[in-house]
Amino acid sequence: MDIFDKCDAIVREVKRAQDLGIYPYFTPIQSAQDHRVTIHGREFIMIGSNGYLGLAADPRMKEAAIKAVEKYGVTCSGSRFLNGTLDIHVQLENDLADFYEMGGAIVFSTGFQTNLGIIAALGGKDDVLVIDRLDHASIIDGCRLSFSDVKKYKHNDMEDLERILKTIPENRGKMIIVDGVFSMEGDMANLPEIVRLKKKYNARLLVDDAHGVGVHGENGRGTCEHFGVLEDVDIIMGTFSKAFASLGGFMVGEKDVITHVKHRARALIFSASMVPASVASAQMALNIIKSEPERRKRLWAITERVLTRLKEVGLDTGDSQTPVIPVIIGKDEDCFAFWKMLIANGIFANPVISPATPPGRALIRTSYMATHTDEDIETVLDAFTACGREFGLVKT
């Protein structure tokens, strides 16, 4: 048997979707990731981006990246552990630690690597990691690399979480790992209750706040700040590829824990460091997050408007409480057809089908930016209403 034989099935699926004109992935965008983008020479309203604060095209971000390249070059040509640490890496880490009022921080080259590095470095064969069933793929893969026992609780089900915690012997290390914002449907973890259970059962808590930092909380420090539990969370993980409009990831936590991860995380030690342009743009984004709260205010005004209107016409937005707003379609084939109709109306969104969603719960994942105009939003809402009517999903 040839190990490549398994490739035939996915190749057939992709070709079939392409032939039908419903293949939505790996679309080449010809412009900046702004509220409007150009695809095949045509303008689309972008509601499929995670650039929540609309910073990707900000002139200050570009200038910071350009200056960093002029001073440091295009890459560090090595890992942080050896020759790849620049003074701007250290400055960004210090500023992140200050931002969160924690003992230390470390930055990784990608968000995915951040979770792999943290979890594999801290979890051992004698430990138990407890995760939400809908946690991000990077958390799941990090758990696999850790060799720890992994227990999954039903999504956002605190009774099930407590049931699992009760069964773990006191002499075993345990850590709860959860997304602050769940990236497919935009609902949030019940952090106050998770913190209560963490304390009750003497566990540690890691919050992946990739979609929360810069968006939630009075100062933009994410879901932990939003729920008032910053001081009770042991580790916060975040990414630079979303609200920060850059590339990379970070963790903040106790100084000793940071030191341990820096010297044990294979995803850090054996990977090239964040390139200078990404470091400088992330630093600029952090400065903007701290100094321009009006961006979050605008983002939340847009979010409330979209959620209210979609619900009014009868579309199912699940339990979203964030700028990630799903529209539940149902069947996979209907989801692709709905997506294609949105494209015809000049709207770029993301179709999500099983196994990324439960069977029969395919959805259009939408997400919004502070830079969307009122005209953009009205066009989007009109398009969803019209398409929803075609599919019998809205009130007549």
Residue pointed to by tokens 């793929």? 137
Residue 125 in contact with residue 159, Cβ under 8 Å?
no
Taking 90 as the threshold, does the pLDDT of residue 155 lie above it?
A: yes
Which of 35, 89, 198, 242 is catalytic? The answer is 242
Task: Round to whole Å and give the CA distance between 313 and 168.
Answer: 47
Q: For position 261, what pLDDT does the model report? A: 98
Q: What is the distance between the terminal CA atoms of the chain, rounded to a whole angstrom?
A: 56
Mean pLDDT, range 97-121, rounded to an integer? 98
Residue pointed to by tokens 């339990």? 319
Encode pLDDT of 52-62 as tens digits. Answer: 999 999 999 99
Which of 49, 138, 146, 183 is catalytic? The answer is 183
Looking at every residue in the chain, the average pLDDT score rounds to: 96
Q: For position 262, what pLDDT does the model report? A: 97
Residue 169: asked if its preceding bond is cis (omega within 30°), the reply is no
CA distances from 116 to 203, 251, 261 (A): 20, 12, 11
102 closest CA partner among 199, 224, 269? 224
Burial of 331 (0-12, 13-18, 19+ CB in 10 A): middle
Which of 211, 216, 226, 262 is catalytic? The answer is 211
Q: Could you tell me the domains of the chain?
A: 16-46+293-390 (3.90.1150.10), 59-291 (3.40.640.10)
**What pLDDT band is residue 338 in, cutting at 50, 70 and 90?**
very high
Encode pLDDT of 279-319 as tens digits. Answer: 999 999 999 999 999 999 999 999 999 999 999 999 999 99
**Active site includes 226?**
no
**What pLDDT band is residue 396 in, cutting at 50, 70 and 90?**
low
**Active site includes 155?**
no
- For 108-128, letters b (16+ CB in 10 Å) and e give bbbbbbbbbbbbbbbbeeebb
Residue 220 in contact with residue 296, Cβ under 8 Å?
yes
